[in-house]
Amino acid sequence: MAEIADKQLKRLRKLLVEAETSVAVAKELLISLVGDESEAEITNIEAPAGKVIEGVFDGQNMIGPDGKTYPVPANYASKSKLVQGDILKLTIADDGTFIYKQIGPVPRKKVIGKLVQKNGHYYVEMPDKEYRVLLASVTYFKAQPNDQVTIVIPEDENAEWAAIEAAITE
C-alpha cells in the first residue's frame, strides 16, 4: 500500500512540474506576442480591494507574518528575479485572486556559476556553495546542466536560493 502511495506522489510531483513548465512557457509566449508595452500595462493595473499580507520570499514561497506559506508563481518569481529575503505584498482579491508585488528588495550581487541537476532539482555550483534555482528560470533561459549562468543572490550570501539573470548556453 505504501509503495502505491509513493508512486502516486512521484507521479503527482511530475505532473505538477510539467504543468508549471507549460504555464511558464505559455506566459513567455504571450509576452512575446503582446510585447513589453502591453505587459507593463498589465502589471501596473491597480490591485482590487481585498486582504493585504506582507511577507518574506523564501526562494519559492512567501512566508507571512503568521508563519503561513503563500505560493508565489514560479514564472513571476523568475521574471521578477526575486531573491530570497525580498519583502512581498500579497493582495488576496475578493474573488480569491492572488496579486503579488515586490516592495522591499534585499541588497543584491551577481555571480557566475555552473548549472547542475541533482535529484530532479537545479542548482548553481559556486566554488564554496551551491544555490537552488527555479525550474521556470532554467526553462526560460533554455539552460542545460553544465552551462554557465549568472545568478542574483543576496549581498550577504546567506541564502539557499538564487535567481537566474542570464545563461551562457553552448
Which residues have CB under 8 Å from 133's CB, separation 6+? 115, 122, 123, 124, 149, 151, 161, 162, 163, 164
Residue predicted with more confidence, 94 or 40: 94
pLDDT of amino acid 22: 59
The Cα angle at residue 39 between residues 35 and 43, in degrees rounded to 5: 175
Cell matching residue 89: 505584498
Q: Which of 163, 140, 136 is nearest to 150 (CA)?
A: 163
pLDDT of amino acid 68: 94
Domain ranges of the chain: 1-45, 108-168
What's the pLDDT tens digit per position in 27-68?
655 665 665 544 434 444 444 467 899 999 999 999 999 999
Q: Which strand (E) or helix (H) includes residue 90?
A: strand 87-93
Taking the CB of residue 57, how many other CB atoms lie within 10 A of it?
Answer: 26
pLDDT of amino acid 40: 39
pLDDT of amino acid 169: 74
What's the pLDDT tens digit per position in 63-92?
999 999 999 999 999 999 999 999 999 999
Asked if residues 113 and 127 have their Cβ atoms less than 8 Å apart, the reply is no
Q: What is the C-alpha radius of gyration for the chain, rounded to an integer number of angstroms?
A: 17
User: What pTM was estimated for this model as a whole?
Assistant: 0.68
What's the pLDDT tens digit per position in 104-161?
999 999 999 999 999 999 999 999 999 999 999 999 999 999 999 999 999 988 899 9
Whether domain 108-168 has CATH 2.40.50.140: the reply is yes
CA 46 to CA 107: how far, in whole Å?
A: 27
